[in-house]
Amino acid sequence: MNRDPWDILRLAPTADQVAIRRAYARRLKVTNPEDDPDGFQALRQAYEDALLHARRQAPAEEVTAAAETDAPAEGAETAPEAPMDDKPDAVDEAFARHAELCNHLGGLLSAAEPPWPAKLEEALSAVLASPALAHIDIQNRTEEWLARLLLSTAPRSDILVPTAIAHFHWNRTKAGEQTPLLAAIQRRGRDLAFLATLTRGDHTFAQAYRLLQAPPRRHSPALRLMLPDRMKDVRALMALIRTDYPTLRANFDAQALARWEAFLAAPRFSAGLLWALLTTPLFLALYLYVRATLPPDDPAEGPMHLLLLPPALAAAGVVYQLGIRVPARWLAQWLPRQRPARVAGVTLGWLPSALLLTVAATALPAGAVSLVVTLVLCLVLLWWAAVSQLAGSGDRIPTAGLSLLINSIPLAAWLVWTMPNLPTEVPQQMALAATLGAIVLGGTQAARAWMERLTPARRRASLWLLALLTLGTIGGLVAALRQPDLIPWVITAVACVQSLDRIPSLLLPGRLVKYRYYALYAFGAVLQGSSPWMAGLTEMQGILFFGGLALTTSVGVTVARLLQADHTRG
């Protein structure tokens, strides 16, 4: 028994032919002729019966007006078919045929099995050649539908994107006519153009692209030993896709990309470290053989020890990988779940600990116990600063660390010159070196926390406190000229003030940081040679006083410059 055409169209009985055509188009979107041929035939028959009923109910003038409403506008591009302005049946047939072609293309792109590329191109060509596209309204709706279809069915629809972009001139859309949908399809076209270059063998990332087609093996010695540059290329290509060509992720197997991301993110030994570990037994065997065969007091005994350099580098690499990078990754995962106060204590607690260690080492008496305790604490301090830096910077050593290292050279040189004045030379020397090293390793994290976590009022208060410490240190330098017992404490004070200066000094202009030490040391040299009272000092007293004065005065320059900048911004 035939069903009511209005039920099939899901439309109330009407004489409006435009409403009938719209209802038919809506039902076509959910009725695929390949999946449900009987349903499609019933829908087609219901559409024709409804149109016949409408024409019987409407006067001839209304039919003509409806046909003229759907006719192409004057000057519009006409399809190869003959004009259909005065042929309502032809217009209806063209609209129905266009809907069938669009539905067929959508069915191919959403089918369970991927169709042949030739069939997709043929289906798209049929849609683009449809006479119904001569109607502006139909063309606009088809453009929007096709753009959404191509984006939603990627990567199966990739072969059709360049053709559709060229046909509708989507790549020439002006900025004022741009829509999010057109921007998305243009971006997809650009990404596919980049993908086409990757498939060529002459592209820089061609090998990396081929490696990404399959997940890496859990243990890939060939990748790490023989192809270290390929790993860098894979990492760079994945970063490029993530930032510049995000739609291309649909062209890769999601599981393979996830495996590669986990493979690259895991803390593994680099190719250089693996080669060093593999060759370590050979170098050790050669060293033992040469040592056993050389006669005593042979001149080659000194250079022979160079054979121990590769094993030492391999051991240092293993310690860094397992002792610093692995804990840093664990710490980076643990910190987001903790309270801000605990995070600050864990990541920045090495700084006050370093200052306390320096003061404590100055007060320790000379002896084996104090030496061992200081050595252990220094190693813990350096490890703490390095791990917290890597955990906070995303496993990257920032360029600011190089600036900290360069700007610490004057203090390190002054400490070397003044070390003979230290009664407890070894413990205090180790503590001072560890404090300076910790500042170099973790100073960028401390500077970022000082700038971002402290309010402007607290930053200014900390600068004023640093200024008071600087003035007190200068007073200690003057007093140490008459009381030599104060020299170890003055050296500690200069080192602590300079270490604290490393944190805010990262905010200074680069030229000021570069030249302030040069100017201050030149000032000290001139002052020493021109003053009769200063010229009477011994060489060590001159180094102690003028070097310490220059270093502490540089801290005053930093404080004054930053306080002025804060006042200006306020």
Name the token pair of 166. Answer: 């060229």
Predicted confidence at residue 510, as pLDDT, reads 62
At residue 367, the pLDDT reads 73
Residue 367 Rama label (left phi>0; alpha psi -120 to 50; beta): left
Tell me how far apart the alpha carbons of residues 155 and 191 are, in angstroms, rounded to a whole number.
12
The span from the CA of 256 to the CA of 270, in Å, is 22
pLDDT for the residue 423: 54
DSSP per-residue codes, 271-320: HHHHHHHHHHHHHHHHHHHHHHHSPTT-TTHHHHGGGGHHHHHHHHHHHH
CB 470 within 8 A of CB 551: no
Task: Look at the block and give the residue holding tokens 């570069």.
Answer: 514
Whether this model's pTM surpasses 0.75: no
Cβ contact 346:388 at 8 Å: yes
The DSSP secondary structure of 455-479, one letter per residue, reads -HHHHHHHHHHHHHHHHHHHHHHHH
pLDDT in tens, the chain (570 residues): 457 888 888 888 887 777 887 787 788 777 766 667 778 778 878 877 887 777 665 443 433 343 334 433 333 333 333 333 444 555 667 788 888 888 888 888 888 788 888 899 999 999 988 888 878 778 878 888 898 888 888 888 999 999 998 888 887 765 455 678 888 888 899 999 999 888 887 888 888 888 888 887 755 555 555 555 577 788 888 888 888 888 888 888 888 888 888 777 766 666 667 777 778 888 888 888 887 787 766 666 667 777 888 888 888 888 888 888 888 888 888 888 888 888 888 888 898 999 898 888 888 776 778 788 888 999 999 999 888 888 876 545 555 566 677 677 777 777 777 776 655 567 888 888 888 888 888 888 888 888 888 888 888 898 899 999 999 998 998 888 888 888 888 888 988 898 888 778 767 766 666 666 666 666 655 655 555 445 555 666 777 777 788 888 888 888 888 888 764 344
* Residues 399, 395: Cα–Cα separation, whole Å: 13
> CB neighbours (10 Å) of residue 79?
18
d(C-alpha 232, C-alpha 228), whole Å: 7
Question: How far is residue 143's CA from residue 165's CA, in Å, rounded to a whole number?
Answer: 10
Q: How remote is the C-alpha of 222 from its chain's centroid? A: 27
* All residues at 6 or more sequence positions from 183 whose CB lies less than 8 Å from its CB, including other chains: none
3-state helix, strand, coil in the chain (%, to 5): 80, 0, 20
**Contact between 56 and 49 (Cβ < 8 Å):** no
Q: What whole-number distance in Å separates Cα of residue 495 and Cα of residue 501?
A: 10
For the record, the structure tokens of 477 come out as 């330098």
Specify the 3-state DSSP secondary structure of 374.
helix
The number of helix segments (H) and strand segments (E) in the chain equals: 29, 0
Could you count the other beta carbons within 10 Å of the beta carbon of residue 478? 12
Distance CA 319, CA 311 (A): 12
Q: Which two tokens stand for residue 352?
A: 């006050």
State how far the Cα of 263 lies from the Cα of 29, in Å rounded to an integer: 44
8 A C-beta contact, residue 291 and residue 306: no
Distance CA 467, CA 475 (A): 13
The H-assigned helical ranges of 159-298 are 161-168, 180-198, 206-211, 221-225, 228-243, 254-265, 271-293
Domain ranges of the chain: 5-73+80-197, 203-265, 274-336, 338-569
CA dist., res. 554 & res. 502, Å (int): 11
User: Which one-letter amino acid corresponds to residue 28?
Assistant: L
> Assign residue 130 a region: left if phi > 0, alpha if psi is -120 to 50, beta otherwise?
beta
- The pLDDT of residue 34 is 62
Q: What is the pLDDT of residue 329?
A: 82
Q: How far apart are CA 107 and CA 59, in angstroms?
A: 39
* CA distances from residue 332 to 336, 351, 353, 438 in whole angstroms, order as listed: 7, 19, 21, 19
Rounded Cα gap, residues 331 and 343, in angstroms = 10
CB 80 within 8 A of CB 129: yes
Alpha-carbon 178 to chain mean position: 29
Helix, strand, or coil (residue 160): helix
Place of tokens 């539908």: 145
